[in-house]
Amino acid sequence: MDFDTPLAEAWIRAIATAVEQQQTLLTDLDSAIGDGDHGSNLRRGFAAALTALDDLRPDGPGAVLTKTGTTLISKVGGASGPLYGKAFRAIGAALPGPADPATLAEALAAGLDAIRALGKADPGDKTIVDAWTPAVAALRTAAATGADLPEATAAAAEAAEQGARATTPLRARKGRASYLGDRSTGHQDPGATSTALLFRTLAQTTAP
């Protein structure tokens, strides 16, 4: 199984559904250390992405993800729109055609690079990066050992979720949460949480 156009479309639809279902959780997490709009912003952005995809005739998985990224940038306020938007655009640019696990890992790594270039965040800063980094590493490792797409994406999802949970004791060094100083500790980062959601839906979409 390769990551192809139908799977790319299914992934974005699964993200939209999951974000809608978890909007309250994401909002509650963001209310504790941010602006309180992470859930609503992402719900609006991915709903708009679904509308955009309805009118798209993609020639590969990359076209689906690039369109998603462009839509997120134009429709989502705050930090999450540009960060996720540029990430999906970078992933899309790296996937002109169907991708095996190794190729998908490198595309998702390109997405991480885009996030880090824009947000200037490193692992340990209590951001999206703390979930995305271990997910890419797990996907690369799984691909290198011969895992198929479902196995590789499942490993990435588990790593992303562990990374998100590991942000709870961290002191935020980037974004709105960094203004809180030590008061940002004890709260799971909302961006890392939504990243874990992205990787979990990827695993669910590619599951046999």
pLDDT in tens, the chain (208 residues): 899 999 999 999 999 999 999 999 999 998 887 778 899 999 999 999 999 999 899 999 999 999 999 999 998 877 888 999 999 999 999 999 999 999 999 999 999 999 999 989 999 999 999 999 999 999 999 999 999 999 999 999 999 999 999 999 987 876 767 656 666 688 899 999 999 999 999 999 999 8
**pTM score, whole prediction:** 0.94
Q: What span, in angstroms and rounded, lies between the C-alpha atoms of 60 and 58?
A: 6
Please name the residue ranges forming H helices in the chain: 5-21, 23-33, 38-54, 61-75, 80-93, 101-119, 129-144, 149-165, 190-206
User: Cβ–Cβ contacts within 10 Å for residue 51, how many?
Assistant: 11
Distance (Å) of CA 81 to CA 37, 89, 129, 162, 193: 11, 12, 15, 24, 15
Nearest one of 138, 86, 136, 94 to 116, comparing CA atoms: 86
User: What CATH number belongs to 5-206?
Assistant: 1.25.40.340
Residue with tokens 């935020």: 172
User: Cβ–Cβ contacts within 10 Å for residue 55, how many?
Assistant: 7
Angle of CA points 15, 44, 164, to nearest 5°: 45
Main-chain dihedrals φ then ψ at residue 17, nearest 5 degrees: -65, -45
Nearest one of 109, 205, 93 to 149, comparing CA atoms: 205
